[in-house]
Amino acid sequence: MKRCQHRSNILREIHAKPTTTARRLRAVAVAVVSIATWSVFGCLVVMTEAVMAEQELTESDYVETPITDDDRSHWSFQPLKRIQVPQYSATWRRNIIDDIVGNALQEEGLTPQQEAPRVRLIRRLSFDLIGLPPTPAEIEAFVADQSNTAYEELVTRLLNSPRHGERWAQHWLDLARFAETDGFEHDKLRAEAWKYRDWVIKALNDDMPYDEFVRLQIAGDEISPDDSAAITATGFCLSGPDMPDINLTKERQHNVLNELASTVGEVFLGLQIGCAQCHDHKYDPISQADFYRLRAIFEPSVELKKNRSLTVLHESFPYKQTSHLMLRGDFRRPGPAVEPGVIRVVSTGDADYQPVPSTHSAGRRTALANWLVADTNPLTARVIVNRVWQHHFGTGIVDSPSEFGLMGSEPGNLKLLDTLASYLIDNDWSLKKLHRLIVTSATYRQRSSLLENATAAERTAWKLSLDVDPRGTLLSRYPRYRLEGEAIRDAMLVAADRLNLKVGGPGVRPPLPAELTGTLLKNQWDVTEDASEHFRRSIYVFARRNLRYPIFEVFDRPSANVSCSDRGNSTTAPQSLHLLNSEFSLETATQLSSLIAKSHADQRSQISAAFQKTLGRLPTEADFTDVTQFMQQQSDASNEADALTHLCLSLFNSNEFVFVD
């Protein structure tokens, strides 16, 4: 279990719904001892582990606990439920999502908000689906089009844009712990890692069915051995950190396989199976043998060569070595032999996992991939629809998106989760159809704030929403969210008309501040010679594991050392300092002000253009008054050109620029 979550997990377990009396008693006992240990030693190994270490298991002693009906009673292990819900108000609802959300709100005495203004809707939708702001011309056209089909046509255009895959690929790459280097001390280059990134972008643009998307990343080389793209897809499995120069190959293999198996369980099943590397999972019904059976599926396919970075899976066939459970997770202490297999609590029996050998493969990973997306597996569809919902609303229906086990959160609305999961399966696992269902719902189109001209009834409904649903978890209004560093950088480049929309290829390396390059080894960040490449979309910026591009780092980009299902959402001084003082910000603001000055002669039209290009709206009269005074102060201190640049820089630094309503 992740140590940084250990204490909160202990406290949550005390109050969690028990699956068995024995498991509940054990959890309480562990909690009491663990909290006592925490108070003295902080985040150290709990005392119960120390006691168990004194009673170290031998190979002959290991006994696997059987799975019971109580173990399978946890909500996430239960089959998907197809639920009929009454239709909510016909004047507000647009699809099944609204029926579920609207009825849930009604039970709490709440009413949903009306549709957001069209200027906000197009900005929200554009950032959501393609990760870029709409242009002033696109906003003007959408606002002017009052037809009943205008919104749906906008959704179609954005989903069909090649920018869509670039936006949603970044969410997946966070899960895949993608980087173009190995990590650790030397952080050596993985020369072809970028091919996996490009494969993900293309797969999402092509609306590859999610079941196929899963199957190819697990077993593309087995399924289509002559297809280079399918082989590239298996880069998911080996995208984690690695130490190719380690002297002990067995230790390297152990670490790589454990990380791989843990990531597969976390990303596709939403289960922290990595907690069972050393002992049976303390909370979930996942045994140590479960973990090593899953790991055994991949053992023949991880080919290690000293000082050679890992890229894709390549099966050694036939593979005659025996797989073992490692006692206490120690690679030097092989325990009982294990056969390849899947997680029992999610399986209905041995028939779920039946590899079919071919001329080139034992079929282990293909059988796993088929099991992951089988009708009998309730987790895979639930986990991915929750992730999609999370990126549209800021928080998942289950707000622990990679933890669907006993220590995870209960679903805020299980009816909604299962309805969406069933919808995905029924629609051939099409993610674009799922996106469309979500963003065309009235729930998604709600206002995120009270408008100045709101009626008395709207003000009453808004106050009740804040009182009863203060965090917006019931979706009584649309939740505002802050853009990621990648989207902020791209939006700045779009505003200044500098964004280079070239697609694919190795990561580009824009210039870095000297204080950063001075910390790197030689040739670790050779600036790309073609200056136009420096303005490529952020997803194409070189992803070094030991050094995140500055604007990405201050806005909470993960390190790529582990799978990240939910980025942090911090508010820190370095964020403001970077947007205000970095060379990139100043250069982009200067470019934008020069662009505006060339096409707008008078100050008022320049102010209007600056607002439209950065915030997507015209300034109010109050804005004009404030900005005119600001620019006068800047002109007195420097000159008129600098005043416009400072206005552009200020708008880049405004909450309205980095937040989406």
Q: What type of residue sits at position 257?
A: L
Query: Where are the extended beta strands (E) located within 300-430?
Result: 323-326, 334-338
Distance between CA atoms of 282 and 29, rounded to whole angstroms? 11
> What domain range includes position 632?
581-660
What SS3 class is residue 544? strand
pLDDT, tens only, 351-396: 889 999 999 999 999 999 999 999 999 999 999 999 999 999 999 9
Instruction: Kindly state whether residues 131 and 186 are assigned to the same domain.
Output: no
CB 13 within 8 A of CB 46: no
Look-up: residue for tokens 């009306």?
A: 114
540 alpha carbon, distance to own chain's centre? 17
Number of domains within the chain: 5
Q: Which of 121-125, 237-241, 310-314, 517-521 has the lowest mean pLDDT?
A: 517-521
Report pLDDT for 1.
Answer: 39
Give me the phi and psi of 323, to 5 degrees please.
-90, 145
Instruction: Kindly state whether residues 278 and 413 are assigned to the same domain.
Output: no
Split at pLDDT 50, 70, 90, the class of 39 is very low
Decide if 75 is inside a domain.
Answer: no
By the 10 Å C-beta count (0-12 exposed, 13-18 middle, 19+ buried), 593 is classed as buried
Instruction: Kindly state whether residues 195 and 292 are assigned to the same domain.
Output: yes
Instruction: Kindly state whether residues 410 and 265 are assigned to the same domain.
Output: no
Report pLDDT for 374.
Answer: 96
pTM of the model: 0.91
pLDDT, tens only, 144-157: 999 999 999 999 99
Instruction: Kindly state whether residues 528 and 441 are assigned to the same domain.
Output: no
Decide if 73 is inside a domain.
Answer: no
Instruction: Kindly state whether residues 180 and 262 are assigned to the same domain.
Output: yes
pLDDT, tens only, 387-426: 999 999 999 999 999 999 999 999 999 999 999 999 999 9
Decide if 262 is inside a domain.
Answer: yes
Q: Which residues contact 641 (CB under 8 A, 6 or more apart)?
A: 593, 597
pLDDT, tens only, 309-327: 999 999 999 999 999 999 9
Decide if 343 is inside a domain.
Answer: yes
Decide if 594 is inside a domain.
Answer: yes
Distance between CA atoms of 268 and 259, rounded to whole angstroms? 14
Could you say which of 572, 594, 622 is where a domain stops? 572
Could you say which of 458, 474, 490 is where a domain stops? 474
Instruction: Kindly state whether residues 263 and 327 are assigned to the same domain.
Output: yes
The pLDDT mean for the chain works out to 90
Split at pLDDT 50, 70, 90, the class of 9 is very low
Instruction: Kindly state whether residues 213 and 336 are assigned to the same domain.
Output: yes
Could you say which of 551, 572, 593 is where a domain stops? 572
Distance between CA atoms of 215 and 467, rounded to whole angstroms? 46
Decide if 51 is inside a domain.
Answer: yes
Report pLDDT for 453.
Answer: 86
Split at pLDDT 50, 70, 90, the class of 17 is very low
Instruction: Kindly state whether residues 235 and 304 are assigned to the same domain.
Output: yes
Instruction: Kindly state whether residues 327 and 344 are assigned to the same domain.
Output: yes
